Amino acid sequence: MKDLKEKTVLITGGASGIGKIMARLMLERKAKVVIWDIDQASLDATLSEFSGKGAISGFKVDVSDAEHVKETAQRVKQENSVVDVVINSAGIVVGKFFNEHTSADIAHTLNINVAGSMYVAKAFLEGMLAQNSGHICNIASSGGLISNPKMSVYAASKWAVIGWSDSLRLEMKQIKKDVHVTTIMPYYIHTGMFEGVRSRIPILQPEAAALTIVKAIERNRTMVTIPGYIHRVTRFFQATLPIPVFDWFAGSVLGIYKTMEHFVGRKK
């Protein structure tokens, strides 16, 4: 998907955080942008702010509701025919020890982060297959590469997204369809979602992270970590170090296991 001009790009979670920044970057590339978000007030504000930047529309959508996704996808397709690019950016995190989670916490996180991404991709994949072109970009997390206290359910959801997303990429290759799949695994991004996190590894700036994701789509990248060394370093030391030594390295040297100690999350 090298040239995004005149392409229809749908972004979930597009009214805030990196989703909103990616919407602006896509408009700058002359794409037609459709944003989905659960927050009507943020959706309205974003549409108003970007109305002079190009073709943009928006819908309030709960991506965890399969029927709502199907119904809204049909409305989008009636207005835009085929969606060329889908970016699954919507996500939530509950920063607690696992024993403190409620059943509702667990279900809500998995339904939005995992099932929601699948529902959205499924809703638009048929059109991409029919025209034999398209791109699905799934925002996972470096939390899907390494275990971490106080984010067990979030980490599980992102491990699931990584496995599903890259399997989808391989399926597109096997059936010989020109539909590209990009899996993004960023470190913590300074957007408010992880407010209170303290990290020895620099927390990512949202503008730079969003630009990296858009460029990954333009270049048909497959699996991208931000920063780029995260995947290589994590996998190398997980493969070569005994678990107690890796725990010492990740916990005491990198400080990863303590990053969520002061987590407060985005203010509602």
Q: Where are the domains of the chain?
A: 8-258
Check: CATH 3.40.50.620 for 8-258?
Answer: no
pLDDT exceeds 90 at position 2: no
Residue pair 154/111 in contact by the 8 Å Cβ criterion: no
**pTM above 0.85?**
yes
Q: Are 186 and 225 in contact (CB under 8 A)?
A: yes
154 given a catalytic annotation: yes
User: What tokens were used for 198?
Assistant: 């303290």
Given this model, what pLDDT does residue 267 score? 66
Confidence category of residue 55, pLDDT binned at 50, 70, 90: very high
pLDDT band at 268 (very low <50, low <70, confident <90, very high): low
| Chain centre distance of CA 258 | 23
Q: Which of 119, 154, 187, 188 is catalytic?
A: 154
Helix, coil or strand: residue 139: strand
